[in-house]
A and B are shown apart, each in its own frame.
Chain A
Amino acid sequence: MILFEKVGKTYPDGTVALKKVDLKIEQGEFIAIIGLSGAGKSTLIRLINKMHPVTDGKLTVNGTVVDDSLVGKDLRKFRRGIGMIFQSFNLIGRTSVLKNVLAARVADIPFFKALLGLYSKEDKIASLNALEQLGILEKAYNRADKLSGGQMQRVALARTIAQDPKIILADEPVASLDPITATQVMRDFEKINKELNITILANMHHVDMALKFATRVIGINDGEIVYDGPASAVDNALLKKVYGRELTDDDIMDN
């Protein structure tokens, strides 16, 4: 369970990104976060694994209080349970797909083994299994930077699965993909969410896709939550609150 209690975030330069956010997220939910660029979506997601520290209120993730005292070894152990997916995939270039997936397990091996890239057979099996689950096993020994965008995001998903997380945070996971590939990647998220009961929080620009795949939608405007409820209840009036104006056909992408 993820619990936000009056959580706020002010960046060192004085920018207020989030104001008094209250949220309760149960294990296994599939949540889409919508809102304009700069509304605070990325900040909200990055607070959960402390890529950015909380500056106000209290954030609890699966029983761990994410505050200033969570540092070093404890922080790293905490992050082990949270996967992260990025808009630009963030794969390691010039190296194989398998090595990219194995990298998710580097936290558990000694430094010299990490340096030499020595992974156990168990790690390799887990990583290959993750690739198989996403239907991209045949690319295991290809170079990661030679794949298409959709394949890269799948590898990133496999990497996250190999990490065996309870929560996956996805920052604009399909924003740089074409509509068809984006739908496929969203289906992968859906599958992972259902089969492995992993909580998914995804920032989305495509409202239609957010409504189609997520079970719950959180709308953010200027650092505040303006909507939090089931995807089925989202209507134009709500979207107007989130985006500050009504969405037209031009804003909705057809699939």
Chain B
Amino acid sequence: MEKLKDYVKNIGKYIKGIFIPEQIIIQDGIVVSPPRSVAPYVVIAFVFVSYFAIQATEFSIFEVIYKLFGIDILNNHFEGPWRAMTGWEYLSRYFFPIDYGYWREVISPLVDTIQMSFLGSFIGSAIALPVAFLASSNINKNKFTLTSARAVLTIFRTIPMIIYAVIFVWVFGKNVLPGTMAIGLFTFSIVAKMLFEKIETIDLGSYEAIESTGASKGKSIVTAVLPQILPSFYSMSLYAFEINVRYAAILGYVGAGGIGLILQSNMADLDLTNRVFTMLFFIWIVVISIETISRFLRRRLA
């Protein structure tokens, strides 16, 4: 209790201490003043931004709870729900039960989805590797090619994968090919970006050493730099594959092949059935398995 009183009494001092760190006096009266931290200002800015974001979006956790479960905690009298049933009723009535027998129809497009993701991830990563070197400022000293490579990567990264799928479906027709290509491009853009940032952090001493033996730039790179980044590269490619399996599930919705195709036929007129949820269940099983394998492999690479 005494302690608490002490805190209250000195509250001003403590608040001041957050912004201006107290000086520390060590032996012989030497004064050490710690540098001021930006952290408290960042926290204040964060709280402000969050407050305005909540105001702007009219986000209310009570409204969410009401529309999902039909419980009006503070008696706010929200409008709705729109379909005369709560979210939970809607989900449980139309999505359940899981129809395990449906797997016979799901298995083939699901395998398509995995194959699309695998091939797309593989091709995308393979192209990303040389481009990442072009985009690394410590390796590529040519301003023009460096800037071009980075510009291309930014453009590719800006376009969402589903847009690639729409474009490729338009060009190649409804098939797994446009899906594979969309995944390939997406993988290329993110793996190249992650990889060049990794390349820029490596120690170039060994590269200098190999160059000093009279090896060309290209040979010095593949001999001294490549072995250092390969484990990270494999890890990034696996991670991209993990993400891609999830993304690929919706690509079929625009006709780009895979499980999304049935998702589309089952959701055609928003007539949701338990089959949608059944499919999500199977996708979930696949994603979990791939993530587990991928995580195991990536841990071994680290």
Give A residues with C-beta under 8 Å from B: 49, 51, 75-84, 86, 88-95, 99, 103-104, 106-107, 111, 114-115, 156, 159, 163
Nearest CB in chain B to that of A92: its residue: B206
Digit string of B185-225 for contact with A (CB within 8 Å is 1, else 0)? 00000000000000000010110111111111011101110
Q: In this assembly, does B231 line the interface, its C-beta being within 8 Å of a C-beta of chain A?
A: yes
From residue B227, how far is it (CB to closest CB) to chain A in Å? Answer: 4
- Choice from A78, A82, A103, A163 contacting B224 with Cβ under 8 Å: A103
Q: In this assembly, does B266 line the interface, its C-beta being within 8 Å of a C-beta of chain A?
A: no
From residue B218, how far is it (CB to closest CB) to chain A in Å? Answer: 6
Interface centre among A76, A88, A89, A90 (most CB of B within 10 A): A90
**How many pairs of residues, A versus B, come closer than 8 Å at their CB atoms?**
82
CB atoms of A92 and B219 under 8 A apart: no
Task: Report how far A112 CA is from B231 CA in the complex, Å.
Answer: 20
- Choice from B205, B219, B230 contacting A106 with Cβ under 8 Å: B219
From residue A61, how far is it (CB to closest CB) to chain B in Å? Answer: 13
Task: Report how far A145 CA is from B186 CA in the complex, Å.
Answer: 35
CB atoms of B208 and A51 under 8 A apart: yes
Give 24 A-B contacts (CB < 8 Å), ordered by A residue.
A49-B212, A51-B212, A79-B214, A80-B214, A82-B212, A83-B212, A86-B209, A90-B206, A91-B206, A92-B210, A92-B227, A93-B227, A99-B227, A103-B223, A106-B213, A106-B215, A106-B223, A107-B214, A111-B216, A114-B218, A114-B219, A114-B223, A115-B222, A163-B213
Q: In this assembly, does B175 line the interface, its C-beta being within 8 Å of a C-beta of chain A?
A: no
Instruction: Count residues of chain B with CB under 8 A from any CB of chain A.
Output: 23
Q: Given A79-B214, A106-B215, A88–B205 Cβ distance below 8 Å?
A: yes
CB atoms of A84 and B209 under 8 A apart: yes
Q: In this assembly, does B228 line the interface, its C-beta being within 8 Å of a C-beta of chain A?
A: yes
From residue B238, how far is it (CB to closest CB) to chain A in Å? Answer: 17
From residue B183, how far is it (CB to closest CB) to chain A in Å? Answer: 26
**Which residues of B sit under 8 angstroms from A79, Cβ to Cβ?**
211-214
CB atoms of A93 and B213 under 8 A apart: no
**Which residues of A sit under 8 angstroms from B211, Cβ to Cβ?**
79
